[in-house]
Structure 1
Amino acid sequence: MMRTRPLKVALLGCGVVGSEVTRIITTQADDLAARIGAPIELAGIAVRRPHKVRDGVPAELLTTDATALVKRGDIDVVVEVIGGIEPVRTLITTAFEHGASVVSANKALLAADGASLHAKAVEHGVDLYYEAAVAGAIPLIRPLRESLAGDRVNRVLGIVNGTTNFILDKMDSTGAGYSEALEEATALGYAEADPTADVEGFDAAAKAAILAGIAFHTRVTIDDVHREGLTEVTAADIASARKMGCTVKMLAICERSADGRSVTARVHPAMIPLSHPLASVREAYNAVFVEAEAAGRLMFYGPGAGGAPTASAVLGDLVTACRNKLAATIGAGESAYTRLPVSPMGDVVTRYHISLDVADKPGVLAQVATVFAQHEVSIGTVRQQGRNQGSGDDAAVEQSSGGQRAGGEASLVVVTHRATDAALSATVAALRELDTVRGVASIMRVEGE
């Protein structure tokens, strides 16, 4: 039987996502009540600008005093869609202290201070849910935390930022440069006026920290995540990837080490084979590839941002938190029992695609190969394109040794076998010191094989 007294919900923030949450709660009230077992009631909405016109949002619910709202003893669940670290951290802990569960979409806060928030929630016997913090509407956190709780996850590989995927997809499909693709993303609303958080990988790094912590049952913060942006990716990199049967994607990669004693988390652009499921993820979509011992390979795909998709994830958590309130119980909290250390990027085993500008004369390739050998990095393939001065003649060949023509300039593309990132970085540093190497045009990791 349905309880008649409604569960009261406080909403912090009423922007794109908050407005959509309000709309769904209002228009789907009967369905939500039936699913929960009790009606829910919006008790207040904290905003910074109460006089701003918000279609479908009851003006009488608006308040600028978020602290007073979360301190109300009758609030059952607080939904936080403000973002940022403070004052949100204080508001969430205050809500816990006054008996309210919290549903959040705040990846930055959770990646920086998730452990203390979980501890605070347990201390006060309330829930903390945050499905919307990673990959928008895609059900991902709950499957990792609950559906795969009996399995051992070894790797999480994903596209978790729609802006960067849109940019790289446009560079690949149209031949546009980075600046042109970013301009189009901005015009279409996929990129913010200041795109730094997206294109420099901060957004994806926060999500990677959350995913790694859940997947490997250990504590990982954003400071543990190696991060590289995509601003240096060029049209030439995209073209070179295509020649290899690859495409370039901005990836979040969380891995358990081969011996199971540590984990790594990283975000950077990488080449992946066109045969990999992530290679076909287009436009601003997200997708996450999970590799588990018993379940095998699983892929989660869908819209990773936007008001409606994010609100969908928020409402899913809200329903769960409300059900727990009715049952006088709480859901699964933080699982960090493994206490695995996070290894530095240098310990990661990967492959490199390296493009060098070299003098086109005999012996150059031999010198380059010697440097790789000295650092115990095995060369997989070499592609040389020579340009004789004054002739305009180009030639490209796949080779493993020798073969340079005398005179002029050349572009040398080397793809390595797997080695530690530290060894590969040292190799690149040594190559820069060779007189015959005029420049390292680009460096990119090769993943997903």
Structure 2
Amino acid sequence: MRRSVLNVRLSIGTLALAAIAVVGIGLALYRFFSGIGAVSNLNQGYPWGFWIGADVLAGIALAAGGFVVAGLMHMFGGERYHPLVRPTILTAFLGYLLFVVALMVDLGRPWTIWHMIIYWHHESPMFEVGWCVMMYTTILFMEFLPVVFERFRLDRPYAIWMNAAPWVAIALLVLFTFAMTQSVVWVLAIAAVLIAFEWLIRLGIIHRDPRMPTMLLMAGIIFSTLHQSSLGSLFLMVPHKLNHIWYSPILPISFFVSAVAAGVAMVIVESTASAWYFGRKVEEELLKDVGHVLTWAIFFTLALRTTDLVLRGVGTELLVFNTPSIAFWIEALVGLIIPLALLLTPQFATSGRWLLIASLMVITGLVINRMNVAVVGITSTYGATYYPHWIEVAITSGIVAAGVLVYLVICSNFPVFAHEHRRPAETPELAAGLAAHA
């Protein structure tokens, strides 16, 4: 088997990914030299387009597997999901980093992105989203650090990390509270609750996960939950521009619920694809359990969307033969109805191949939904039209391809998969650190 200097298997697939990444990155650099107008069809009527729908709304939702698996395993006792945790955290971490890169391409003045750190606009959903992404990316980085420590056998830093990580998580939550409220009362209240909770964990009164500080996991779930829903809040500000099929007062809830379903689907796709690529055995029984979670997530999403459409009296608009209704039915059939039917059929639900197909359909439906909200469902007040420029698609494809290559490089050189993990208390230094955390 031929491998590169980065220990990645060289194949037609990896070479194709490299070519797509090079072209996409080259076009992204061209955008910074020539301006956003030279590489996109964005205009006054459509200042947001393909990049917002695909890179931001869909990309963030597809990275939701990080907090979903963290909740399933660490917070709700699903220990059998442990083999999925590190690959999922890595996928989420890279997903958020790619989101930041893509956002820099889309912003008209990307060099001002740091302004949100010091200029606080508390009533802006974008301010909250920006801070949540910044905080959650930090949390994901910290959650991935044990992989680095194990790779280089840094047992003393690992022990320090186990002790310090909960307090870093508390500091981030308190800082976020102050940034959102500017209220000393709220800051003191949140700090008191979190510190008390951490001490209860250390006293053994509350369950402590031996592999990952509970407070760090809680912070990740909180930040991810907040901004998944806040992305939907962005479109509550355009009730007269967004088609009634998608505009709803519960749009933030809908965004969150659909992100959970897509996050679970991404776990199945990532686990299956990585097993095939690295020649590992697919965790079929484990993924079937995840498939049950996916079934309930799809059912709840479909029930929520259907109830919302009926209560708002929008059902008749779905029977009109036009672009919005066609786009909705494609989204619903591909992302919800057909996958749910497959997963409710025993012969398909117990098949790893059909579980993968259903998961891919859920992911595709999520991307279509976000594109419908960001582009298809928007009516310009200027009478303008918008179709993605081929360079917009090429840049996004290049960023995604680069992310996949980085994932393969990291998995090839670091102990990401369960069979590669070292025992947590393998050395005296680490054992002492774990004992102190306990």
Q: Could you state the TM-score of these two structures normalised by the residue count of structure 1?
A: 0.27
Higher relative contact order (Cα pairs below 8 Å, separated by 6+ residues): 2
Q: Could you state the TM-score of these two structures normalised by the residue count of structure 2?
A: 0.27
Q: Which has the higher helix share?
A: 2
Q: Which has the higher strand share?
A: 1
Which one has the largest radius of gyration?
1
